[in-house]
Amino acid sequence: MMAHKPVLLDEMLDWVAPRDQGTYIDGTFGAGGYSRAILKAADCRVFAIDRDPSTRVFAEQLEAEFADRFVWLLGNFADMVSLVATHGIPQVDGVVLDLGVSSMQLDQAARGFSFRADGPLDMRMGDEGMTAADLVNHASESELADILYYYGEEKASRRIAAAIVSARKVAPIARTHQLAEIIRAALGAGKHQKTDPATRSFQALRIHINQEFDAIERGLKAAESLLAPGGRLVVVSFHSLEDRLVKRYYHSRCGRLGEPSRHVPEAPASAAPHFFLPKPEKRVANDAELKENPRSRSATLRMMQRMESA
Ligand SMILES: C[S@@+](CC[C@H](N)C(=O)[O-])C[C@H]1O[C@@H](n2cnc3c(N)ncnc32)[C@H](O)[C@@H]1O
Domains and their CATH numbers in the chain: 9-104+214-306 (3.40.50.150), 127-209 (1.10.150.170)
* Residue of 97, 110, 169 whose CA lies nearest to 136: 169
pLDDT of residue 193: 74
d(CA 307, CA 116): 46
Pocket lined around ligand 1, Cβ cut-off 6 Å: 4, 6, 28, 30-34, 49-52, 55, 76-78, 98, 100-102, 125, 215
What separation in Å is there between the alpha carbon of 23 and the centre of ligand 1?
19
According to DSSP H, which parts of 124-276 are helical?
132-138, 141-152, 157-170, 176-187, 199-209, 212-226, 240-253
What separation in Å is there between the alpha carbon of 105 and the centre of ligand 1?
10
pLDDT of residue 33: 97
Per DSSP, 267 falls in state P
Is the CB of residue 235 less than 8 Å from the CB of residue 96?
Answer: yes
Region label for 75, one of left (φ > 0), alpha (ψ between -120 and 50) or beta (otherwise):
left
Neighbouring CB atoms inside 10 A of 263's CB total 16
pLDDT of residue 189: 66
pLDDT of residue 268: 57
Residues 6+ apart with CB under 8 A from 136: 121, 144, 164, 168, 173, 179, 205
pLDDT of residue 111: 96
Per-residue pLDDT 10s for the chain (310 aa) are: 678 889 999 999 999 999 999 999 999 999 999 999 999 999 999 999 999 999 999 999 999 999 999 999 999 999 999 999 999 999 999 999 999 999 999 999 999 999 999 999 999 999 899 999 999 999 999 999 999 999 999 999 999 999 999 999 999 999 999 999 999 999 986 656 778 999 999 999 999 999 999 999 999 999 999 999 999 999 999 999 999 999 999 999 998 866 556 666 655 555 678 999 999 999 999 999 999 998 899 999 999 999 998 6
Please name the residue whose Cα sits nearest to atom 12 of ligand 1: 28
* Residue of 185, 231, 26, 212 whose CA lies nearest to 113: 212
d(CA 183, CA 200): 10
Please name the residue whose Cα sits nearest to atom 1 of ligand 1: 102
What separation in Å is there between the alpha carbon of 50 and the centre of ligand 1?
6
pLDDT of residue 309: 82
For the stretch 248-292, pLDDT in tens is 999 999 988 665 566 666 555 556 789 999 999 999 999 999 999
* Residue of 29, 34, 28, 32 whose CA lies nearest to 10: 34
Q: Please choose from 1, 2, 28, 51 the residue to mutate so as to test ligand 1's pocket, defined by most ligand atoms within 8 A of CB.
A: 28
Q: Which residues pair with 49 in a beta bridge?
A: 73
User: Would the pTM count as exceeding 0.75?
Assistant: yes
Q: Please choose from 40, 50, 239 the residue to mutate so as to test ligand 1's pocket, defined by most ligand atoms within 8 A of CB.
A: 50
What separation in Å is there between the alpha carbon of 49 and the centre of ligand 1?
8
pLDDT of residue 195: 85
